[in-house]
Amino acid sequence: MASTTTPRPNTLELTEKETTLRQLLLDVADFIEQTPPKESETQVPLPQELQDAKLELRFTGGWVRDKLLGVDSHDIDVAINKMTGYQFGLRMKDYLEMPQNAKKHGVTSKDGGLHKIEANPEKSKHLETVTTKILGLDIDLVNLRKEEYTDDSRNPQIEFGTPEEDAIRRDATVNAMFYNLTTSKIEDFTGKGFDDMEKKIIRTPMEPYQTFKDDPLRVLRLIRFATRLGYEIEQTAQQSMNNSDIKAALEMKISRERVGIELEKMLRGPDPRRALEYIYNLDLFGTIFTDPTRKVDFKPEMENWAKLYNVLADPASSTGSSALEYILDRLTYSPDDKYFMWLSCALVPWFSAPALPLEKKKSPPPYATLVAREGFKAPNKISDIFTAAISHMDEIKAMARAVYGGSNKKNTQKEPGQDDPTARDSIGMAIRRWGPTWKNQVMAVVAYEIFDDLEAAKLYQSLLQRIEDLGVGEAYNLKPLIDGKTLSKHFSAPPGPWMKPALDVVMAWQLRNPDATAPDGAISDVKAYLEKEGELTSSLIDHMLKLTIRAKFVRSPQNPSVTAAGRINTGGEQSRRQQNLLDEEEKPWKSAPEVLSLLKWVVENLSPKSVELHWPLLVPPILALTDDYEIKYKAIGCSLLQKLLEVTPPPLLHRTGLAKVFEESLLPCLTYLPTLTPEAESVEILSAAFPALLQLVRTQFPAASLSGDQNQPPPNEFSRTKARALDNILRTGIFTAYAHAGEHVRIASVLLTHLRSITEELGIESVRHLKDVLPLLCRILSDPFGTAYMPLLVAATKAMRTVTWEGRERIRWWRSQVLSGLANCWILVRAQETSGHVDKGDFAALKEELKDELRKTAGVLREVVKQSKMDEDVDEGADFEVELGRLLENEPVIRGLFAGDDAQ
């Protein structure tokens, strides 16, 4: 009975170039055999059997496999039995330098030179190899070798070996066959190469566990070969690939650059889906797709991963097949786009990983970015796209839902002044923010969305259709019709923080008016648009808040006491959200200082009208700053809140009910004191919080509200309520803080500075605090070491003058204590002057300032007491002059204190 087995070829049909190359190499071998080597040539010791053997050459590995599969290959490895590749290459160079030889084989000067790969004992490359280009073919010249591995490295000890030893060291039997140039025969020294090709099996020549232990990179290479060839990895090999020892060795012995090279070849290959399937089934995800430089507690959700890579490979298999096919057709039409899609698929399980802790006060990139950058050494361009995709994810998702919702609702109209997120300018400006890689970013978000819900594809079909219909896909390349200089000239405004947002306003106008081409006409129309509702500043504020500032604060933790409309939340008791100090991913404004500059510009340019208009957009970012845990941002928030309140119409504050919310955000700032808070940071936050609290009281209780506002309490009750609010700041902010940190002179100076402001606001109501304030100020002014820090004495003197003036109705009872404090301070200053100490620089100026303030305060005291009467019959002023005369007789040094008593 005749055999039905297909005859196996014992030779290969070479192309014309391959035939020429074969003959060239054989002629070079004959030349080497007949010509003794030069004395200068490097000689590598050979075993005796090789010294006596004839020089043999073989085409090896992948070239043989591809020829058997009928696939053209321009990359040929040439194995040499008794010479290194470099030795053979030098002799071939000698041979081709003979003109008749080069002409015989058609080798020209266009063919490449030799590129030597040096022997490197540290990397176990003990035998030199060489690469060259001949006849348009890429040639590697190597020697047959055998390898010996150690447990801690994939770099083996290499020696000359036999063809059999060279074959069994290879990663797969189908890559271990040779084509002997002398005999023109195929050699299958493993005895399994032909069989495995017929059965379409990837098998290791040696026992798989030891093969992978020797070189764990072979795990990834086998996956690559299997997916490229459409073969199955043999089951024993798969079991070893899944072995925990092998996975540990893969992490320890293989560089992440090599992992990245193999991964890229897989995902750019013909079947990336199957590559990910092998990675999933062999439990290699956590070995490949991870950041080896850090450990995280987050466990990625893998349940739907197989569904994701299957549907990306075959959209028709999904319920939303037409939508997904539409998306992939527009987002993955280039090889690079397809590659990024598969990388996105691979990293999607990490997209929801929480933000990592701060590193040197900076937020690290999202963990998915770190997996790309550190796990498989993705180029910066790819890593940056993942960072951008995750940063813009919320905005992309919101826009997709807005477009989908709008396209599925008939006859819907926006209210006047309401934003339309589906309008041409809104979508175009978003694409400008996302940048040239917006399609890749959207693809990453699509992968993330359909990971949980395949139906989400419909949202992004609507978004892409809308972008296509509007023609804004290239909006990131759109050049403004007006440059900054022209804009500044036409609006008579100097360059500043407003310039970039102003150009964005221009760009948004261009997107609304795509046919505009003439700069003059554009300037006129833009100016009309900007001035339609008021001044230029108002439109810029509107633009910055809606399109720049809001985008950076949208993910920040929102104060639960405030509704989206900028009103107090009355829907039950609201607990303040506990901030996660590590959630820096939710605060992209921290890595965008220009946004804080814009917010500052916005607040500084507000008018009462614009505050009313933009209140819901102003409150959240300012409270996000005030509620932040970092002092520098809290201080910025306090300062911005103060400026906001300065222009906030009191009825607006009353209607929204946010005064209590602002107070609850500001009062805790007064507790940041040493030793828990460094003195410099304490000074920073106190200097910002006190003015904000005081302005809050002024806005809540404006003088004009004492009459005419029916929503406010009666005048007497109004004044008492305002006084209680100021009393609270004085007690909790000034007295308590001084008790805890008064020994810190810089903090004490800040407290006394704001004591003056609160006292001025209290006016006559401040008399109830004289018993606490005056002894405090007198102790400071009488401190024998006070002159060591003059600013504190200056602050105390100014505060004493304010307290004296505002409490003038009762100060006559405290006149002796006030006079004592001023006199003691004057004596201290004069004593220093007479000590022979020479004052220099700032100290001298501060001392003169202090003396001047002491004189002013003494003059105020004298005038206040002089004008006051205890009752109708007793002139207290006269008694004070008598007391003062006696004091001057006893302490003539203080006469200078009352020189020039005309100043207040």
Domain of residue 112, CATH code: 3.30.460.10
pLDDT (0 to 100) of residue 343:
97
Residues 820 and 890: their CA atoms lie apart, in Å, by 13
Are 172 and 61 within one domain?
yes
- The residue among 265, 286, 287 whose CA lies nearest residue 275 is 265
In a domain, 552, yes or no: no
Cβ contact 81:55 at 8 Å: yes
Are 387 and 499 within one domain?
no
Task: List all residues 6 or more positions away from 850 whose beta carbon is below 8 Å from its beta carbon.
Answer: 790, 793, 794, 797, 825, 829
Are 193 and 315 within one domain?
no
Identify the domain boundary among 496, 518, 533: 533
Amino acid letter at 217? L
In a domain, 681, yes or no: no
In a domain, 589, yes or no: no
pLDDT (0 to 100) of residue 413:
42
Cβ contact 372:390 at 8 Å: no
Burial code of 741-780, b = ≥16 C-beta within 10 A, e = fewer? bbebbbbbbbbbbbbbbbbebbeebbbebbeebbebbbeb
Residues 343 and 338: their CA atoms lie apart, in Å, by 9
Taking residues 788-796, report their average pLDDT.
91
Taking residues 257-273, report their average pLDDT.
96
- Torsion over CA: 106, 109, 112, 114 (sign): positive
User: What total number of domains does the chain contain?
Assistant: 4
Burial of residue 870 (number of CB atoms within 10 Å: 0-12, 13-18, 19+): exposed
Domain span at 374: 289-407+416-477
Q: Which of 189-193, 324-328, 482-486, 668-672 has the weakest average pLDDT?
A: 482-486
In a domain, 189, yes or no: yes
Are 425 and 380 within one domain?
yes
Are 195 and 306 within one domain?
no
3-class secondary-structure state, position 77: strand
Residue 216 binned pLDDT confidence (cut-offs 50, 70, 90): very high
Tokens of 878: 């006269």
Identify the domain boundary among 199, 214, 246: 199
In a domain, 351, yes or no: yes
Number of H helices, E strands in the chain: 42, 11
3-class secondary-structure state, position 75: strand
Are 175 and 324 within one domain?
no
Are 783 and 863 within one domain?
yes
Are 765 and 897 within one domain?
yes
Identify the domain boundary among 457, 477, 497: 477
Higher pLDDT, 42 or 789: 789
Computed over every residue of the chain, the mean pLDDT equals 84
3-class secondary-structure state, position 667: helix
Q: Is pLDDT of 904 > 50?
A: no
In a domain, 83, yes or no: yes
Its pTM surpasses 0.75: no
Q: Is pLDDT of 194 > 60?
A: yes
Residue 132: strand pairing partners: 139
Are 22 and 158 within one domain?
yes
Cβ contact 689:669 at 8 Å: yes
In a domain, 432, yes or no: yes
Are 504 and 363 within one domain?
no
Task: List all residues 6 or more positions away from 890 whose beta carbon is below 8 Å from its beta carbon.
Answer: none
Are 30 and 79 within one domain?
yes
Side by side, the strands of the sheet bearing 57-60 are 115-117, 129-134, 137-143, 75-80, 57-60, 178-180, 185-187
- The residue among 500, 502, 508, 511 whose CA lies nearest residue 536 is 502
pLDDT (0 to 100) of residue 592:
76
Cβ contact 323:457 at 8 Å: yes
Residue 146: strand pairing partners: 159
Taking residues 788-793, report their average pLDDT.
90
Percent of the chain with pLDDT over 70: 83
In a domain, 718, yes or no: no
Taking residues 788-809, report their average pLDDT.
90
- The residue among 418, 517, 410, 422 whose CA lies nearest residue 465 is 422
Are 499 and 461 within one domain?
no
Higher pLDDT, 236 or 868: 236
Q: Is pLDDT of 43 > 70?
A: no
Residues 826 and 843: their CA atoms lie apart, in Å, by 16
pLDDT (0 to 100) of residue 84:
87
Residue pLDDT, tens place only, 133-164: 888 899 999 999 887 755 555 455 667 888 99
Q: Is pLDDT of 764 > 70?
A: yes
